[in-house]
Amino acid sequence: MLEVQGLNAWYDESHVLHGLDFEVREGEVVTLLGRNGAGKSTTLKSIMGLVPRREGSIKFRGEELVNARPDIVGRRGIGFCPENRGIFAGLSVTENLLLPPIVAPGGMTIDEIHTLFPNLKERARSPGTKLSGGEQQMLAIARILRTGAKLLLLDEPTEGLAPVIVQQIGLMIAEIKRRGFTVLLVEQNFRFASKLADRHYVIELGQVVDMIPNHELGARMGELQKRLGV
Amino acid sequence: MVMIFGKPLPLLFGQLLLGIINGSFYAMLSMGLAIIFGLLNIINFAHGAMFMVGAFVAWGLFTYLGIGFWAALVCAPIIVGVFGLLLERAFIRRIYKLDILYGLLLTFGMAQVLQGLATNYFGSSGVSYNAPNALSGVLKLGFMYLPVYRGFVVVAAIIICFVTWFAVEKTRLGALLRAATENPSLVQSFGVNVPRLIALTFGAGVALAALAGVLAAPLYSVNPDMGAQLIDTVFAVVVIGGMGSIGGAILTGFGLGIIEGFTDVFYPQGSAVVVFVVMAIVLLARPAGLFGKVA
Ligand SMILES: Nc1ncnc2c1ncn2[C@@H]1O[C@H](COP(=O)(O)OP(=O)(O)O)[C@@H](O)[C@H]1O
Ligand SMILES: [Mg+2]
């Protein structure tokens, strides 16, 4: 579904991604693991067209997107949930939820979303940023579920959240997968990732250094922990 | 005769009306400035010039094409709005990545060019434009005489302000605009053509200035400086209300018009500076403005 080859990305003068290669197949949950500053967020931003300069190849359903503007990438059916969650303070919960335009048929309906996230219904009218961190994270994911985007890029959805909430987010992502969405997940918490993902890519200094199928994760835990510095 | 604080009542009502009329223009102009500043991060120094161009376009439509006031209320803002859109595409979009000062200089230059061209073609004394017959005459209200056109301007301004506020705060398009003001790249990644949204917003803000210009044409002489005279006060209004707040711009616009009107009765020497005194006080007490959010 998504094939990234030889991806390079720059912020002004600093060269951050150095020829990344990976792929995500339809229906998979794939994670990008790596230390802080390894280039995981930059990888997601590069796919969306949100870095100043990039080179290489980003093919989505066979279409080359490496030179596409962010709105074109969004229109093709890739939904993005950024690291800081990107909830708009000037918009109510419902306005935040309804903001992304529908880009393809087959997204979840508002009723389905409200069933999955009852809090978002209860707090529909409050400003988006008045929600708790966990609720904001759910809102940030929920709003890309209704657009019809089939590939979701989630940047550290569990960052800074309490263990109970992390568990809820985990259930949510499992449900999303069950409904046929494809997910590219950036995580530092690989215990969390191991419960959801099919495969893991390990990123170091802007390059993919390893790919681990989830069933091998247990056996390679020690090696991985050393790599991630945990 | 009824007196309040030693002043005759009809005089006070007269000044109140004058204050509300001026406030109407402050509100309409500062709203457009606030919208443009919010999304483009450009302090549009050409806003007063667009107001002036709106008035001249109304005059030109009538003088050369026989198109009257009511049609001009629709046509002039569209013409000036499209002109603004072209300016945004041709010039302003090139400086979004630069410091805010460049936008200020660029739009200041545009204002100078437009005013210079208008002076060149029409002379500095300007031209006159009449209110439509349906709005001529005076209403006798008992406590004062109300020229019908002035009453019309106040009602029109209130409607324009409400519609604009509603469009920005309560509609889906307004939500896109507010979201793009906060985080344009994220909104764009959702599939929204943000550069186009920005251009349309600039066009709409400028059209709003032109609409105010058409309303002003029968009240004031239509001259090249009519916008420049108003715009200093309008900038003070935006600063007092808080950059980027539509409701704040409206309330502050009307409020300051009224304060200015009454100052003229009780302390005429102060009427020209009262707005700036208020601005200084507000900035000391609340640097982000009365309705602004502290960044
Ligand atoms: N906006 C930016 N401008 C310049 N450098 C950046 C920017 N964002 C990230 N970087 C740098 O790029 C590198 C990769 O960052 P990032 O992709 O955020 O890492 P990760 O998400 O893996 O923690 C880091 O060295 C970081 O300092
Ligand atoms: Mg990151």
- Which of chain B's residues have a Cβ under 8 Å away from the Cβ of A88? 178-179, 182-183
HSE of B183, CA atoms in CB hemisphere, 13 A: 17
Q: Is B228 within 8 Å of B159 (Cβ atoms)?
A: no
H helix intervals, chain B: 9-40, 47-65, 69-90, 100-122, 148-170, 172-182, 184-189, 194-216, 226-241, 246-266, 274-285
Mean pLDDT of all residues in A118-147: 91
| Of residues A171, A189, A167, A176, the one with CA closest to residue A144 | A176
Residue B175 near chain A (CB below 8 Å): yes
**CATH number of the domain at B3-126+133-285, out of 3.40.1350, 1.10.3470, 3.90.550, 3.60.60?**
1.10.3470
Q: How far apart are alpha carbons A202 and B278 in whole angstroms?
A: 59
Which numbered atom of ligand 1 lies nearest the CA of A42? 17
The 10s digit of each residue's pLDDT in A56-69 is 999 999 999 999 99
SS3 for B50? Answer: helix
Question: To test ligand 1's pocket by mutation, which of A8, A13, A14 has the most ligand atoms within 8 angstroms of CB?
Answer: A14
Mean pLDDT of all residues in A102-106: 92
The 10s digit of each residue's pLDDT in B190-205 is 999 999 999 999 999 9
Tokens of B18: 């004058």
Residue of A nearest to B185 (CA): A50
The whole-number pLDDT of residue B85 equals 96
Q: How far apart are alpha carbons B56 and B118 in whole angstroms?
A: 9
- Which of chain A's residues have a Cβ under 8 Å away from the Cβ of B187? 99
Q: For residue B250, give how far its alpha carbon lies from the nearest alpha carbon of chain A (Å).
A: 18
Q: Per this entry, what is the length of chain B?
A: 295
Which numbered atom of ligand 1 lies nearest the CA of A203? 22
Mean pLDDT of all residues in A22-46: 95
Residue A116: band (very low, low, confident or very high) from pLDDT cuts 50, 70, 90: confident
The CATH number of residue A168's host domain is 3.40.50.300
Question: To test ligand 1's pocket by mutation, which of A13, A16, A18, A202 has the most ligand atoms within 8 angstroms of CB?
Answer: A16
Mean pLDDT of all residues in A162-187: 92
The whole-number pLDDT of residue B125 equals 87
User: Is the CB of A98 less than 8 angstroms away from the CB of B189?
Assistant: no
Q: Which residue in A85, A94, A95, A98 has the most chain B C-beta atoms within 10 A of its own C-beta, making it the best mutation to test that interface?
A: A95
Task: Using CB atoms, pick whichever of A50, A90, A91 lies closest to residue B185.
Answer: A50
Sign of CA dihedral B43, B205, B275, A90: negative
The whole-number pLDDT of residue B89 equals 94
More confident residue, A152 or B142: A152
Percent of chain A with pLDDT over 90: 75
The whole-number pLDDT of residue B206 equals 97
DSSP, res B132: P
| Of residues B221, B224, B256, the one with CA closest to residue B237 | B256
The whole-number pLDDT of residue B96 equals 87
Question: To test ligand 1's pocket by mutation, which of A20, A31, A41 has the most ligand atoms within 8 angstroms of CB?
Answer: A41
Inter-chain CB pairs, A–B, below 8 Å: 58
The whole-number pLDDT of residue A137 equals 94
With vertex at residue A137, the alpha carbon angle to CA A134 and CA A140, rounded to the nearest 5 degrees, is 155
User: Is the CB of B189 less than 8 angstroms away from the CB of A147?
Assistant: no
| Owning domain of residue A112 | 2-228
Task: Using CB atoms, pick whichever of A71, A80, A99 lies closest to residue B194.
Answer: A71
Residue B194 near chain A (CB below 8 Å): yes
The residues lining ligand 1, judged by C-beta closer than 6 Å to any ligand atom, are A 11, 14, 16, 34, 36-42
Looking at the structure of chain A, the number of domains it has is 1
Which numbered atom of ligand 1 lies nearest the CA of A206? 14
- Which of chain A's residues have a Cβ under 8 Å away from the Cβ of B188? 69-71, 74
Ranges under pLDDT 50 in chain B: 295
What is the CA(A167)–ligand 2 centre distance, in A?
20
**The three-state (H, E, C) secondary structure of chain A, written as one string:** CEEEEEEEEEECCEEEEEEEEEEECCCCEEEEECCCCCCHHHHHHHHHCCCCEEEEEEEECCEECCCCCHHHHHHCCEEEECCCCCCCCCCEHHHHHHCCCCCCCCCCCHHHHHHHCHHHHHCCCCEHHHCCHHHHHHHHHHHHHCCCCCEEEEECCCCCCCHHHHHHHHHHHHHHHHCCCEEEEEECCHHHHHHHCCEEEEEECCEEEEEEEHHHCCCCHHHHHHHHCC
Task: Using CB atoms, pick whichever of A71, A103, A147 lies closest to residue B188.
Answer: A71
Average pLDDT across chain A, whole number: 92
* ipTM of the shown complex: 0.92
The whole-number pLDDT of residue A152 equals 96
The whole-number pLDDT of residue B266 equals 86
The whole-number pLDDT of residue B1 equals 64
The 10s digit of each residue's pLDDT in A72-101 is 999 999 999 999 999 999 999 999 999 999
User: Is the CB of A99 less than 8 angstroms away from the CB of B175?
Assistant: yes
Residue B189 near chain A (CB below 8 Å): yes
